[in-house]
Amino acid sequence: MKLTRIAVAAVASGAALGLAACGGGTSGGGAGGSTGGGGGETVKVGIKFDQPGLGLKEGSKYSGFDVDVANYVAKELGVTPQFVEAVSSQRESLIASGQVKYIVGTYSITDTRKEKVSFAGPYFIAGQDLLVRADDTSITGPDSLKDKKLCSVKGSTSAVNLQKKVPGVNLQEYNTYSLCVAALKAGNVDAMTTDDTILAGYAAQTQNQGKLKLVGKPFSTENYGVGLKKGDQAFCDQVTAALKKFISSGEWEKSVQKNLGPANYKPGPGNPPTPTCQL
């Protein structure tokens, strides 16, 4: 038993090193990487730290659907991930500067972002929604936001979409979604807007139960992709292959149930999607 495990580990680690060396050769050196022992090269991977069910850091523990995706991709690449917080507005620059090798952080694939980074995906499709206080009956969708104070995050598609949909809307843009949740609970804003996945996670947190509710009428399509260095075809293909395997192996379904199930979140139409490399 013991011997078998060691043998398996040796083979796995040998394969991992081979892959890592190969990846390094084709992508011209490991961005943000260092050579670690045992688990292959250590690479910096951007995730969210404050989004329950998606990317959450509690002490030294990381959990969520995006964390599962990030770990699965790393395993397929034969590298050891080292997680770094990637807030929405910093994502393109973290990738472009090589401070992270890739980002899995509720990161919507858009043409504007594709001018600076490339994506492997989509690996999940979400939709933009609204989160309000549980006793609020006045907000039923984007049409009821005139004269309301909204919160969203800098550099997100959520902020841009809302401003297009509700011209002149009173929108405060914070750095993170958890800051919006605090402002909503404190009564400093009337609603917050971003992907339904993120909002469902906050609504389900013990401390928010009975205090916050999701409006439940998604008004955008958010295609989540793994962000990576612009034009790195070889790496993009590797990540795409890993995402396809994540889905076909059943791990996608398991991870969705484990991480989004507790918030009673059901993936909408189009899920699971078919990832491609989008340079």
**Residues in the site for ligand GLU, rule: CB under 6 A?**
88, 105-108, 153, 156-158, 194-195, 222
Tokens at residue 134, please? 């549980």
If we measure between CA atoms, which residue out of 53, 87, 57 comes closest to residue 200?
53
Of 105 and 267, nearer to ligand GLU (C-beta) is 105
H or E element: which one contains 133? strand 128-133
Tokens at residue 188, please? 């400093």
Give me the sign of the Cα torsion angle 71, 32, 273, 261: positive
The values of phi and psi at residue 219, to 5°, are: -125, 25
- Nearest approach, Cβ of 51 to ligand GLU (angstroms)? 8
Distance in angstroms (rounded) separating the CA atoms of residues 145 and 167: 10
Angle at 67 between CA 154 and CA 270, to 5 degrees: 80
Of 27 and 106, nearer to ligand GLU (C-beta) is 106
Q: Residue 26: beta bridge partners?
A: none
For 276, other C-beta atoms within 10 Å of its C-beta total: 17
Alpha helices in 97-140 (DSSP H): none
Residue nearest to ligand GLU (CB): 156
CA–CA distances in Å: residue 256 to residues 68, 195, 259:
10, 15, 5
- Nearest approach, Cβ of 122 to ligand GLU (angstroms)? 11
Alpha helices in the chain (DSSP H): 2-27, 65-77, 91-96, 157-165, 177-186, 196-204, 233-248, 251-260
- Nearest approach, Cβ of 132 to ligand GLU (angstroms)? 18
CA–CA distances in Å: residue 74 to residues 71, 90, 120:
5, 21, 14
